[in-house]
Amino acid sequence: MTTPPLPEPAFPHLDSMLSRRFGKEVANYFSGSPLNRVSFLRTDYTFLSLALKHPTTSFLLFNSLNPLAKDPSHLSFASYTDVRPLIGENPYAKSEEQLISEYNSTTTIPQLIFLGLDERNKQGLTYNIYTGSPCFALDVTPKGSVTSQAESLIQSMQSRGLNFLEGRIQAALPAPDAAIYAQARALLDWNARNPFCAQCGQPTMSINGGMKRTCPPKDMASLGGAIGGNVAAAPTERPDCATRKGISNLCFPRTDPTVIMAVVSPDGKRVLIGRQKRWPPYWYSTLAGFVEPAESVEEAVRREVWEESGVKLGRVVIHSTQPWPYPANLMIGAIAQCIPGGDEIVLKHDPELEDARWAELEEVREALRVGTSALGGSAQEGYKEGNLRLPAGTAIANQLLTAVVNGFVGEAPRI
């Protein structure tokens, strides 16, 4: 599988004081979306109603979090006419307040998310000062009271030669499509994982264009409990819930910060790499781990590296970041340097790694040239069996290692 080109950073050719001192910004795969999210319009149901039916509007369909596509390198989008039998004439016809007051937990509402306006299309919807083609994500997984409508829509798409891409990671899409896919998948997954209120256990409903979930005060259905028997009845008051008190006390999409780091030896001539037991032979990558509460990014980098490898770090520098929609991570890429005398590898703390070792920069440079691909994929021409394998260019680990072998930790100030 050919690795697609990475997205261009914002204003790549702009000369500035920051770019002269810190170097060119690095944009990673799954970033660089062409959509303007116009987040402030998510509560404007007049706008959402217009966006829903505009001729240039596109819907990215997901079945069990698998996106609709022509092939692994090309997403495919549906039209409003295609999805209307599933979502109805206009789910934004009533105000958010009215929809909350009429909430019925026995009614299945297909998850629809407004992603943004694609400003590349100057002939798209114009609303106030904003112009672009509206883009939505829609979960078409057959479920509940809309099972038959969802199945019909899926069959209609498949009759056109389209399919839903299976597999956990989609890394063959062009960068703009990959960013749209990442946003859509992360938000659909978050909504699916949060059908109940974390405070009171009652069912929640999606609002704000799919970007929030709220715990309605009333339910048009009779509920014996959080999941209880569903028998239609007059509106019933639900138990008090702390999420209905205070300011904006709703459920918002979560993003889990994760550090991933290229660690350089004290002399700057080696880089630390590790491997998990489940990986194919010869595969290594940079170390990574979650940021814990009340912990800075720099502290998380030092802690994770010590826990997994025993190596002790000094200076930590942020290099770049990468959205990772599996399910909702923000990979915070760092480059760090080991302190003098702190380079001994000890794997007895955290058993996550099968092996960790120091690799010479030339070995890493050669692996980046001919030994990269998705996990388990084929290497490039010129690779010798038994040599080091590394992640593909769509992974931030690749960008961190590339920066190191290209002299990031050199004499010239970069960051």
Cross-strand bridge partners of residue 397 = none
| DSSP secondary structure code for residue 410 in this structure | S
Task: Judge whether 134 and 49 are in contact, CB under 8 Å.
Answer: no
Looking at residue 170, its pLDDT comes to: 87
Q: Which residue has the tokens 């290229």?
A: 262
Q: Which residue has the tokens 């120091």?
A: 358
Task: Judge whether 323 and 31 are in contact, CB under 8 Å.
Answer: yes
Looking at residue 222, its pLDDT comes to: 59
Q: What is the mean pLDDT of each run of 10 residues along the chain (415 residues)?
A: 88 90 91 97 97 98 98 97 98 95 94 98 97 98 96 98 90 96 98 93 95 94 51 71 78 95 96 96 97 98 98 97 96 98 96 96 98 93 97 97 89 46
Torsion sign across C-alpha atoms 127, 132, 133, 135: negative
Query: Which H or E run includes 141?
Result: none
Quickly list DSSP for 255-319: -EEEEEEEEE-TTSSEEEEEE-TTSPTTB-B-EEEEPPTT--HHHHHHHHHHHHH---EEEEEEE
Report, in this order, helix, strand and coil percent for the chain, each rounded to 5.
25, 25, 45
Q: How many CB atoms lie within 10 A of CB 88?
A: 14
Looking at residue 248, its pLDDT comes to: 60
Instruction: Determine the angle formed by the axes of helices 147-159 and 80-87, rounding to 10 degrees.
Output: 160
Looking at residue 63, its pLDDT comes to: 98
pTM over 0.85: yes
Instruction: Determine the angle formed by the axes of helices 396-405 and 361-370, rounding to 10 degrees.
Output: 130
